[in-house]
A = this chain, B = another copy of it.
Amino acid sequence: MRYELFYWPTIQGRGEYVRLALEDAGADYVDVARRKGGERRMMAMMANRRLGPPPFAPPFLKANKLVIAQVANILFYLGPRLGLAPKSEAGRLRLHQLQLTIADFVVEIHDTHHPLGPTFYYEDQRPQAKRRTEEFWKARVPKFLGYFETLAARGNGPYLDGRRANYVDLSLFQIVEGLRYAFPKRMARFERKIPRIVALHARVASRPNIAAYAQSGRRIPFNTDGVFRHYAALDE
């Protein structure tokens, strides 16, 4: 089956967690909105009242007749089909729980540059962003990444859940990539506290399909329109 992924064509954003899973698995997929007329088709699907239900926002995935929105929901569906999650109910719920924790972290990452909400520009909330970012690095990054470091420490590795990579490993790779881009100085200092997550990142980066994806031109570079944004003032 050819999967169709619908997401904004110029950012990694939340769609990237799905792209990484599809790429790592070598799945047959189309990144619809990056093709001619694709963004229009994406908007039309969101307005299509006959879809049950239409997505609230991108990303969403079309798999035959199913249209699935919400990153963690898409990965829950794709995981066992792509060989990136166990097939048992308990195993699937366990991974999903971790992915939802990552999703919570992603919201807080986004809020560092948008503490007053998504409808103002960053430029309209610089002092508040600075204050929120300080707190984010002081309390929230240690809490979230410390949690995953603990999970990695009690596993037998090399991946979070053992010998096989799953979609949570890929998402943690993206978190490290994004924090390095957005906050190079802060992240460089912090990484010594999470050696196992840093090693996990390297391991994912060297997976053949991920390495090929990074060099393919298909991976959109980070930029200041996505979730991870580099503003020098927030990295001091």
Q: Are B131 and A56 in contact (CB under 8 A)?
A: no
Q: Which of the segments A95-103, A172-180, A200-208, A220-228 contacts the partner chain?
A: A95-103
Contact residues in B for A209 (Cβ distance below 8 Å)? none
A93 at the interface (CB under 8 A from B): yes
Contact residues in B for A119 (Cβ distance below 8 Å)? 135, 138-140
Copies in the complex: 2
Number of chain A residues whose Cβ lies closer than 8 Å to a Cβ of chain B: 44
Q: Are A151 and B53 in contact (CB under 8 A)?
A: yes
CA distance A109 to B183 in the complex (A): 27
Contact residues in B for A100 (Cβ distance below 8 Å)? 70, 72-73
A234 at the interface (CB under 8 A from B): no
CA distance A154 to B53 in the complex (A): 10
A10 at the interface (CB under 8 A from B): no
Q: Contacts A116-B132, A117-B108, A128-B116; is A73 near B96 (CB within 8 Å)?
A: yes
Q: Are A93 and B73 in contact (CB under 8 A)?
A: yes
Contact residues in B for A140 (Cβ distance below 8 Å)? 117-119
Minimum CB–CB distance from A85 to chain B (whole Å) comes to: 14
Contact residues in B for A117 (Cβ distance below 8 Å)? 108, 111, 115, 132, 135-136, 139-140
Interface string of A135-179 (1 = CB under 8 A from B): 110111000100100110010000000000000000000000000
User: Would you mind naming 26 contact pairs between A and B with Cβ atoms under 8 Å apart?
Assistant: A49-B154, A52-B94, A53-B94, A53-B97, A53-B151, A55-B97, A56-B144, A66-B90, A66-B93, A68-B93, A68-B97, A69-B97, A69-B101, A70-B97, A70-B100, A73-B93, A73-B96, A73-B97, A76-B93, A77-B93, A115-B128, A116-B131, A117-B132, A117-B136, A117-B140, A119-B138
